[in-house]
Chain A
Amino acid sequence: MLQTKSLKYQYPAGKPLAFPDIHFSNEDPALILGESGCGKTTLLHLLAGLRTPSQGNVLLGETSLYSLTTSERDSFRGKNIGVVFQTAHFIPSLTVLENIMMSLYLNGKVQDQNKAKAFLDRVNLFHKAFQPIRSLSVGEQQRIAIIRSILHEPKWIFADEPTSALDNKNADQVIGLFMEMTKTVNAQLIVVTHDNRWNGIIDNTVRL
């Protein structure tokens, strides 16, 4: 369950952004559509507790995100939220396997290497487990970012334009991967995008 109430954000030198109230009552995947520059990424950061709104609140399940202290919010986000950004960022000093296992370590979960390897196998990147991150192509990096956001079994997974930089073939792969993997761990997928290739795959839609 995800709900927002009169969410507003004011950039120091910009027009105020006011977002429509969102209410996803079930755990089905949801799509937030909007054109470039309408504040999609800002909304995703607000929903994931990465940026504090100037007004309003976000309810994730029973938790009111902005009633928590910063450190409580860090901890809540770590345990319950997975985020996939438009550009994948990694810790360059770590291997592929170590990077995806970072989410387990940072949330104090059992660092189950077999589980991580099984996830890598699922995205056909098992053979890259001990390679440095920079050895991956952009498409491979995106797949790694997806499994990294899911490995620690969060309840919500937010994805910011996960396919807009990919060609059709790669985009189809990524969409399929998201749908399958989020189902595996029982997480709700919320995609923020202007990419029409998601239309018809997710029915639950909000337009900004």
Chain B
Amino acid sequence: MNLIGLAFKNIRHQWLDTLLSVILLAFGLGTVSMLVLVEKQTTEQFNKNIKDIDMVLGAKGSPLQLILANVYHVDAPTGNIKVGDARIVTENPTIERAIPLAYGDNFEQWRIVGTDQGYPDHYEMKLAQGKTFQSDYEACIGADVAKSTGLKLGAPFLSTHGLDQAENDEEHAHHHNYTVVGIYESSGTVIDKLILTPVSTVWHAHEDQEVEEAEKPSEADTTLAVEKIVIKNNPPTMRKGPLMMLRPAKERKASPNDNKEVTAYLLKKRTPMAQMILPNLIKETNMQLALPAIEINRLSESFGLGMDTIKAIAMVIIALSFVSIFISLFNALRKRKKEIAIMRTMGASRIKVFMLIQLEGILLVIIGGALAWGLSRLGLSILSQQLNNNFHYTFNIKDGSIQELYLLGAAIIAGIVACFIPAFQAYKMDISKTLSNE
């Protein structure tokens, strides 16, 4: 027997009295713990994927949507832009690199993105197997896609039109036959969740579809026509002026791909001037430039506000749990007076009984903390499941944060404070009076 063992047995003996305190504490700590992990992991994800992408060029619409769709691949794209129109930006000397992204299809709800080698290179992707995509309908798949779909190297697969439609949705079935030529190593970036193919694949796939759809006029056709008119009415304007950085539009040679469409370009700027010059160049087009850092900041702020509210509620629950611990130990002590007096009679010092009550409080906090750990992981895995169903994003429940340890430390200190009065009462108890019922 030792003091910790005795404290533990005492807690076990009066578990019903302390159950509420422990549950409250576990819920409070668990909620904060879960939020800490959600914040940490989303920030990590955001930062990892934003990596050196200074701007995103895409169709007008919500800039946040443009970022979410093209950097994180969680939202629907804002629309398409013409390669020719975009050249005013992508070939601008202030831009160091422009990575095209063309959407349209999916395989079992994993997005197929037409792009060039610059995209995987940007995220420093390494091939676990096979080679990089080069010709039409060759695809390199991310680690999560490979794991979920079971696609192997050399395996053929059929795409489905749209971003999220189910594969057997006949309306959107394309049945383009892709072949897996490469599988990337897991990188923790968004590429893990994508199927990459040359841009030309997407163009060809959709040209085929347009031919098909031209034969039977549909709603989509009308939409396409409207889009074309809009584009025609808003030709990209090139401002003439003293800006030496800009090449007049006339000098640009027409390219055979000018009429092709992409969803967006991820841009890395060469000079900070890009941010000042480029928005003006595309002012009167259907294109917009969005800055991931700013949009994500804006998102985090509103996201953070919600998190802070939940955190504040959790903190109130934690505070209540300490009040509850205090009350239950205080009440328990009244029942246990004789027990404490007997211990003192048998030679236990005042300090020893003080320590005993303190230890009981600390153990309660530790039990609450352990339950909180389990609850936070459970919550995170439920959240992760939901997120995975909707966006193919997951949370890592094996992850931990140093903040959780700080939280437990703070809770233990609060536990010591909450137990101080009952412990002190045990300390100053008069053995003789207690035993004589005075």
Interface-facing stretch out of B2-10, B74-82, B122-130, B274-282: B2-10
Q: CA A79 – CA B345 in complex, angstroms?
A: 10
Contacts of B349 in A (CB 8 A): 71, 74-75
Are B346 and A106 touching (Cβ within 8 A)? yes
Contacts of A122 in B (CB 8 A): none
Q: CA A48 – CA B14 in complex, angstroms?
A: 31
Are A48 and B345 touching (Cβ within 8 A)? yes
B12 to chain A, nearest CB (A): 7
Are A91 and B343 touching (Cβ within 8 A)? yes
With A45-B432, A93-B10, A94-B6: A106-B342 Cβ-Cβ less than 8 Å: no
With A50-B345, A103-B347, A107-B347: A93-B1 Cβ-Cβ less than 8 Å: no
We find that the number of chain A residues with CB closer than 8 angstroms to chain B is: 30
B8 to chain A, nearest CB (A): 9
The yes or no answer to B148 lying at the interface (CB within 8 A) is no
Range of interface residues on chain B?
20 to 34
Report which of B13, B347, B433 forms a contact with A106, defined as CB distance below 8 A: B347
Contacts of B351 in A (CB 8 A): 71
The yes or no answer to B352 lying at the interface (CB within 8 A) is yes
Q: Which residue of B lies closest to A109 (CB)?
A: B347
The yes or no answer to A85 lying at the interface (CB within 8 A) is yes
- A142-169 vs B, Cβ < 8 Å mask (1 yes, 0 no): 0000001000000000000000000000
Q: A34-67: which have CB < 8 Å to B?
A: 41-42, 45, 48, 50-51
B181 to chain A, nearest CB (A): 68
Q: CA A75 – CA B432 in complex, angstroms?
A: 16
The yes or no answer to B339 lying at the interface (CB within 8 A) is yes
The yes or no answer to B344 lying at the interface (CB within 8 A) is yes
- B420-438 vs A, Cβ < 8 Å mask (1 yes, 0 no): 0000000000111101100
A63 to chain B, nearest CB (A): 15
Q: CA A71 – CA B348 in complex, angstroms?
A: 9
The yes or no answer to A187 lying at the interface (CB within 8 A) is no
With A45-B432, A51-B432, A94-B9: A89-B348 Cβ-Cβ less than 8 Å: no
The main secondary structure of chain A at its interface with chain B is helix
With A74-B347, A107-B347: A93-B9 Cβ-Cβ less than 8 Å: yes
Q: Which residue of B lies closest to A149 (CB)?
A: B346
A69 to chain B, nearest CB (A): 11
Q: CA A45 – CA B432 in complex, angstroms?
A: 6
Q: A6-50: which have CB < 8 Å to B?
A: 41-42, 45, 48, 50
Are B339 and A90 touching (Cβ within 8 A)? yes
Contacts of B145 in A (CB 8 A): none
With A41-B436, A106-B352: A90-B347 Cβ-Cβ less than 8 Å: no
Contacts of A102 in B (CB 8 A): 1, 343, 346
Are A105 and B1 touching (Cβ within 8 A)? yes
A61 to chain B, nearest CB (A): 17
Q: CA A94 – CA B102 in complex, angstroms?
A: 71
Q: B303-345: which have CB < 8 Å to A?
A: 338-339, 341-345
Report which of B1, B13, B352, B436 forms a contact with A45, defined as CB distance below 8 A: B436
Q: CA A75 – CA B352 in complex, angstroms?
A: 12
From B338, B351, B430, name the one whose CB has the most chain A CB atoms within 10 angstroms.
Answer: B338
Are B348 and A78 touching (Cβ within 8 A)? yes
The yes or no answer to A111 lying at the interface (CB within 8 A) is yes
Contacts of B345 in A (CB 8 A): 48, 50, 77, 83
The yes or no answer to A199 lying at the interface (CB within 8 A) is no
The yes or no answer to A200 lying at the interface (CB within 8 A) is no
Are B342 and A89 touching (Cβ within 8 A)? yes
With A93-B10, A111-B1: A85-B346 Cβ-Cβ less than 8 Å: no
Q: CA A90 – CA B348 in complex, angstroms?
A: 14
The yes or no answer to B350 lying at the interface (CB within 8 A) is yes
Q: Which residue of B lies closest to A52 (CB)?
A: B432
Q: CA A94 – CA B345 in complex, angstroms?
A: 17
Are A50 and B435 touching (Cβ within 8 A)? yes
B169 to chain A, nearest CB (A): 64
Are B343 and A74 touching (Cβ within 8 A)? no
With A74-B349, A75-B349: A106-B436 Cβ-Cβ less than 8 Å: no
Q: Which residue of B lies closest to A77 (CB)?
A: B347
A82 to chain B, nearest CB (A): 8
Q: CA A103 – CA B346 in complex, angstroms?
A: 6
A35 to chain B, nearest CB (A): 17
Q: Which residue of B lies closest to A76 (CB)?
A: B347
Are A74 and B348 touching (Cβ within 8 A)? yes
Q: Which residue of B lies closest to A98 (CB)?
A: B1
With A50-B435, A105-B2: A89-B347 Cβ-Cβ less than 8 Å: no
- B394-438 vs A, Cβ < 8 Å mask (1 yes, 0 no): 000000000000000000000000000000000000111101100
Instruction: Return 5 A-B CB contacts under 8 Å, by A number.
Output: A41-B436, A45-B432, A71-B350, A74-B347, A91-B342
Known: A78-B346, A91-B343. 7 other contacts (CB 8 A): A42-B436, A45-B432, A51-B430, A74-B344, A89-B341, A91-B342, A102-B343
The 3 closest A-B pairs by CB, nearest first: A78-B347, A93-B13, A51-B432
